[in-house]
A and B are shown apart, each in its own frame.
Chain A
Amino acid sequence: MKTVSAEHLVKTYDKGEVRALNDLSLDVAEGTVLSVLGPNGAGKTTVVRILATLLQPDSGNAHVAGIDVIKHPDKVREVIGLSGQYAAVDETLTGWDNLVMFGRLYHLGKQQSINRANDLLERFSLTESARRPIKTYSGGMRRRLDLAASLIVQPKVLFLDEPTTGLDPRGRMEMWGVIEELVKGGVTLLLTTQYLEEADQLADEIAVIDRGKVIARGTSDALKKQVGGERLEITIENQDMAKVQEIVARISASPTHVDGRTVSAAVSTGSRALIEALRALDEVHIHPLDIGLKRPSLDDVFLSLTGHVAEETVAEPVKKKRGGKK
């Protein structure tokens, strides 16, 4: 039995005009991380909202920790934690106020709620700002507090809906660190993201969704192999193109591709390919304008899986758009 399973979920909005989920199925094994990867409007938030009992599907089944989401939403709520893309905490209250309140709502005793709040603030490096209203927090701090609020009773299953959307690079790195810690603690995690890099970093498995359907799933490596993995890219100014092409061909087993002054080819040896290329270029005194390993982006994944780029569709609930997504 999988810890999270969704079977043939269908959800439509506007009287069937908009199909947010179109026969979507997925599952997550106990203690693993599944990343649901897709562009805006692919149906990511809708899946999470159904699994977290906030939304009823038109048809299909869903189970979390063996409990039927549709028949026993109350029981599901006792074992899950949910953290959305905008911090769902009370902005006028302090971080500490919020966590104690949520503790009480999980029916912990007063002292227990206080202890738990202190522990979590400590763990998420928020102790110093604990007594400040949330509205004075940075984006990253808010997100961490929101995550802390979803961990008050150590959920069996955690849902994170785009946990780093809108964060600056530093905030994103911090958030990744926090999530990795959680995963080590053994929680079963389903997270949605628009960033392949994020899915790659955090997930055991990735499910790519497009227009309400899973279009590919597998480990990050498998998916990348399907997409073509990393590419070595060298851009030069006025030097000998043929020579560069020759160097790239020596390093890569795949065919080289020339686009203007840029030569590229898929490589499988990562940074070693980069070093080899630099050495070879140096030997023949070619100094590239730009050289690097390009990881496949969500666009590349989509392009190779669907033949179209990841485009924003309008299949998400109206409510979501108000959140001011970046």
Chain B
Amino acid sequence: MKHLLSDSIVITKRQLLQLARIPELLIFSTIQPVMFVLLFRFVFGGSIATDQPGGYVQLLMPGIFVQTVAFTLAATASGLAEDMKKGLIDRFRSLPISRGALVIGRTFGDALLNILVLVVMATAGFAVGWRPTSGFMRICLGFLFLFSFGYALSWIGIYVGLVVRDARVVQNVGFLVTFPMTFLSNAFAPTTGMPKALQYVAEWNPVSSMVAACRQLFGVKNEFGATASSWPSQHPLETSLLYMILLMVIFIPLSVRKYANTSN
């Protein structure tokens, strides 16, 4: 336990070193979200009606931010599965290191990568007309929310990676989870166009709460949200916080235990 933090940091450093050794990895993980910003801004931006001052891009950016950090889940899961496949996990487990270090270190690494991705996306967003209007502190709080949400989701990723074990399968599972989760929400379009049943799902979807919370924190009226006047859509900040805490309370112990018993 004494070395939990320092061991975790060594593992995080390893991940950063990997990025330094394969710069392509870093380039592509930042190009993809930028591509999404441009595509949505210019493909849907013209056709989705909104009376938002500043236009669709003000609503879009919080949605894309949340979607991108949600993809952390798949990245974390496949990175871990890759290590398992190569027997690297066995080596780590035969070392006198703290039990949680390997998985905690990986979540730190993915969180750091998220900071970079968020900065790049914010810059891209700014370039295509995104202008948050809420003031410095609230904007920072918005990014803190995004960062924390990505971190909470990476713990689901850890669990998926440990359970599924095969990197290619993990990638598919990751997409199967994150795609519906991010699109079945208020991220890109109003939920009011969906069938009634889906509207409720979208309403209670953590992604919707997060997007609504970010819109609020960035000073945008959340036009795409409130449909059924549900508690989550009325209280997006509180709901998002609750979801994050809930995810971590469930998945951190679950993942650490799964890791300790893995390959048994």
Contacts and interface: CB of A to CB of B under 8 A. Distances in A.
Given A101-B13, A105-B10, A88 B86 contact: yes
B187 to A, nearest CB: 33
Contact of A86 (B6, B17, B87, B264): B87
Contact of B90 (A88, A90, A106, A149): A88
Interface of A: 49, 52-56, 74, 77-78, 80, 82, 84, 86-94, 97, 101-102, 104-107, 133, 149, 317, 319, 322-323
Contact of B263 (A54, A82, A323): A54
Given A77-B94, A93-B18, 12 more contacts: A53-B93, A55-B263, A74-B96, A82-B91, A84-B87, A88-B86, A92-B22, A101-B17, A104-B6, A133-B21, A319-B263, A322-B85
A81 to B, nearest CB: 8
A189 to B, nearest CB: 15
B14 A90 contact: yes
27 contacts: A52-B94, A53-B93, A55-B264, A77-B95, A80-B94, A82-B91, A82-B94, A84-B90, A84-B91, A86-B87, A88-B88, A89-B88, A89-B91, A90-B88, A91-B86, A93-B21, A94-B21, A97-B17, A101-B17, A102-B95, A104-B10, A105-B7, A106-B95, A107-B6, A149-B91, A319-B263, A323-B87
Nearest to A55: B264
B235 interface: no
A88 B87 contact: yes
A77, A88, A149: most-surrounded residue (chain B CB, <10 A): A88
Contacts, number: 73
Nearest to A98: B14
B94 A93 contact: no
B36 interface: no
Given A54-B263, A319-B263, A93 B93 contact: no
Interchain residue pairs A-B with the least CB separation, the first 9: A88-B91, A88-B87, A77-B96, A82-B94, A78-B96, A104-B10, A92-B18, A105-B97, A52-B94
Given A55-B263, A93-B21, A149-B91, A106 B96 contact: yes
A91 B21 CA distance: 11
B40 interface: no
Contact of B14 (A74, A80, A101, A319): A101
A97 B10 CA distance: 11
A56 B264 contact: yes
A107 B88 contact: no
Contact of A93 (B17, B86, B90, B264): B17
A106 B3 CA distance: 10
Nearest to A80: B94
Contacts of A49: 90, 263
Contacts of A54: 90, 93-94, 263
Contact of B92 (A52, A105, A317, A319): A105
A144 to B, nearest CB: 15
Nearest to A101: B14
Interface in B1-20: 3, 6-7, 10, 13-14, 17-18
B87 A317 contact: no
A53, A90, A106: most-surrounded residue (chain B CB, <10 A): A90
Contacts of B6: 104, 107
A80 B96 CA distance: 9
Nearest to B95: A105
A86 B83 CA distance: 13
B139 to A, nearest CB: 36
A107 to B, nearest CB: 6
Contacts of A133: 21
A77 B93 CA distance: 9
A56 B264 CA distance: 7
